[in-house]
Amino acid sequence: MNLPIENFYRRNEGLLQIVGILGLPIAFTIIGIFVTISVERFKLHQAEIMERSKMHQEEMLKRISTQEEYVKIATGILSRKVDKDQNTAIREWAVDILSLYSPIEIKKEQRDDLITGVSRTAWYGLDYTAGYADYDFYANREKRESEQPGAGQPATRPESDSGDCDKP
């Protein structure tokens, strides 16, 4: 039984072999082009993601730097001694900044203490608010040491009469 496909194959066998020999490299070339295009698109997409990530990282670093500056300003404001005639709005702003950037919640009592500059512990005779900004132990260390007799001199041993400590 001769099928029409078998007849076609037998009649065009040489032509089909030529098409097969030339068709495979062409098919592989086309497939290779599609794979290359796909890989390049993937690389481009990865580069875009990395660029966005870098921009996001830089933006976050700028934000953190700005936050640090605000916290420094706020702590500077709060470390100043409170004048009775002073408007407390700037101290309230400073406490708001600390509350905003603090990972720990500042309670109402603590907030009030920071704004007024009076610690509730001062009521019990323990005034921790006075002196933290003014007291600089390490800056005055050299002055204190120079006032002490023998300060800055290495410790020396008293000399014995015999000069030899090993003898009984």
What pLDDT does 156 receive?
54
DSSP state of 162: S
Q: For the chain, how many structural domains are there in total?
A: 1
Domain-embedded: residue 58: yes
What pLDDT does 103 receive?
87
* pTM metric for this prediction: 0.45
Domain-embedded: residue 160: no
Domain-embedded: residue 110: yes
Domain-embedded: residue 21: yes
Residue 59 belongs to domain spanning? 4-80+89-132
What pLDDT does 158 receive?
52
Domain-embedded: residue 96: yes
Domain-embedded: residue 146: no
Residue 125 region by backbone torsions, left for phi larger than 0, else alpha for psi between -120 and 50, else beta: left
Domain-embedded: residue 27: yes
What gap in Å lies between CA 35 and CA 39, rounded to an integer?
6
Domain-embedded: residue 141: no
What pLDDT does 6 receive?
79
What gap in Å lies between CA 13 and CA 115, rounded to an integer?
98
> Coil, strand, or helix at residue 8?
helix
What pLDDT does 14 receive?
86
pLDDT, one tens digit for every residue, the chain (168 residues): 567 777 888 888 888 888 888 888 899 999 999 999 999 999 999 999 999 999 999 999 999 999 999 999 999 888 888 877 777 888 899 999 999 988 888 888 888 888 888 766 544 444 444 444 444 445 555 665 666 655 555 555 555 555 555 555
What pLDDT does 49 receive?
94
164: its two tokens: 């030899």
What pLDDT does 82 receive?
80
User: Radius of gyration of the chain from Cα atoms?
Assistant: 42
